[in-house]
């Protein structure tokens, strides 16, 4: 009887540990649910909701008429976009289809979903346009049964100033205006690889939750030194994450949310290391892992 009790106690404690490592984290749908539906699209965001994500991750750029548009590239991607007449956007012309030089009315004529995406064979092709950030937020807020968070990436870089996007102060201000209009400040994280954009947003809204995106191998402290303040979140490429990095981030009082993790084995490994969230193209896989 004593032996059976010890075995039960061990299994019970193991379950508690396992359950907390799998369920207590911020599940973020990368570009909505890119593995399943076209990226950065309203249908993709709504599907991510169906899989119970805590946060919807998306990217934003700016149109010629100063609208904030949900898009990963500041141009029409030759990988997924088609002209209004249905012809495929070619590699050689893609960057000339610069969204910063196009009014939103023209941007909305391009289809960026019907072709699917060769890199994501499970993705269902669907005719979609690049939505305005305002329209995406409105759609999600209307559909969500419980409050959801947003993780919005400002897509800026120094060489793109005045070419593919406005100066970072203007960019940050335009994004903030939309978020403030929908009263979503307390449920929104602003992320960027560009420290300048985070600095700008921090000046506009000192209380905002900010995340530094990292793809380099400089290390935690070197990346923190690029900012004049401490952001709440450190968000590295998942390949850079090990126990030492997790410990360093937590010791500094930050949370760590790596990107973009699509294999369940790696999801489990990262959760065991103690990360605070996962950004994935496949929220369905993450949910299945927890069941």
Residue 192's DSSP bridge partners are 212
Residue 189 parent element (H or E): strand 188-192
Indicate the number of domains in the chain: 1
Predicted confidence (pLDDT) per residue in 197-223, tens digit = 999 999 999 999 999 999 999 999 999
* pLDDT of amino acid 23: 53
Predicted confidence (pLDDT) per residue in 24-60, tens digit = 899 999 999 999 999 999 999 999 999 999 999 999 9
Integer CA distances (angstroms), 194 to 118, 151, 154, 266, in order: 29, 15, 8, 27
**What token pair was written down for 262?**
């699509």
CB of 254 within 8 A of CB of 3? no
- Pick from 199, 242, 197, 201: nearest CA to 219: 242
**What token pair was written down for 220?**
């935690």
List of the chain residues with pLDDT < 50 = 1-21
Long-range contacts of 131-135 (CB under 8 A, 24+ apart): 131/40, 131/41, 131/42, 131/69, 131/70, 132/67, 132/68, 132/69, 132/70, 132/104, 133/58, 133/60, 133/68, 133/69, 133/70, 133/175, 133/178, 134/68, 134/178, 134/181, 134/182, 135/42
CATH code, domain with 202: 3.20.20.190
Give the position of tokens 């539906």.
37
In a domain, 270, yes or no: yes
* pLDDT of amino acid 21: 42
The model carries a pTM of 0.92
Rounded (10°) CA dihedral 14, 15, 21, 24:
-150
In a domain, 13, yes or no: no
* pLDDT of amino acid 123: 98
- Pick from 121, 124, 97: nearest CA to 113: 124
In a domain, 124, yes or no: no
CB of 27 within 8 A of CB of 267? no
d(CA 161, CA 163): 5
In a domain, 87, yes or no: no
**Residue 209 belongs to domain spanning:** 25-76+131-290
**What token pair was written down for 272?**
């065991």
In a domain, 20, yes or no: no
In a domain, 2, yes or no: no
* pLDDT of amino acid 274: 98
Residue 61's DSSP bridge partners are 69
């Amino acid at each position: 009887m004593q032996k059976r009790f010890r075995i039960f106690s061990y299994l019970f404690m193991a379950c508690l540990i396992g359950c907390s490592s799998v369920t207590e984290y911020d599940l973020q749908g990368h570009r909505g649910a890119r593995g399943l539906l076209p990226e950065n699209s309203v249908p993709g965001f709504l599907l991510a909701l169906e899989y119970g994500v805590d946060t919807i991750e998306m990217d934003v750029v700016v149109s010629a008429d100063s609208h904030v548009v949900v898009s990963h590239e500041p141009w029409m991607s030759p990988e997924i976009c088609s002209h209004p007449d249905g012809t495929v956007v070619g590699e050689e012309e893609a960057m000339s289809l610069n969204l910063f030089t196009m009014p939103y009315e023209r941007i909305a004529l391009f289809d960026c979903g019907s072709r699917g995406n060769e890199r994501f064979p499970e993705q269902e092709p669907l005719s979609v346009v690049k939505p305005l950030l305002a329209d995406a937020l409105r759609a999600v807020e209307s559909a969500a049964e419980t409050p959801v968070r947003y993780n919005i990436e400002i897509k800026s870089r120094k060489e793109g100033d005045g070419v593919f996007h406005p100066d970072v102060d203007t960019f940050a201000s335009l994004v903030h205006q939309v978020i403030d209009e929908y009263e979503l400040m307390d449920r929104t994280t602003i992320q960027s690889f560009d420290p300048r954009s985070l600095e700008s947003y921090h000046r506009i809204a000192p209380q905002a939750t900010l995340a530094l995106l990292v793809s380099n191998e400089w290390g935690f402290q070197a990346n923190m030194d690029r900012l004049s303040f401490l952001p709440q979140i450190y968000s590295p490429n998942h390949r850079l994450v090990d126990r030492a990095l997790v410990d360093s981030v937590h010791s500094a009082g930050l949370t760590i949310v790596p990107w973009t993790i699509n294999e369940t084995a790696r999801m489990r490994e990262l959760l065991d290391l103690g990360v605070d969230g996962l950004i994935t193209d496949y929220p369905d896989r993450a949910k299945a892992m927890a069941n």
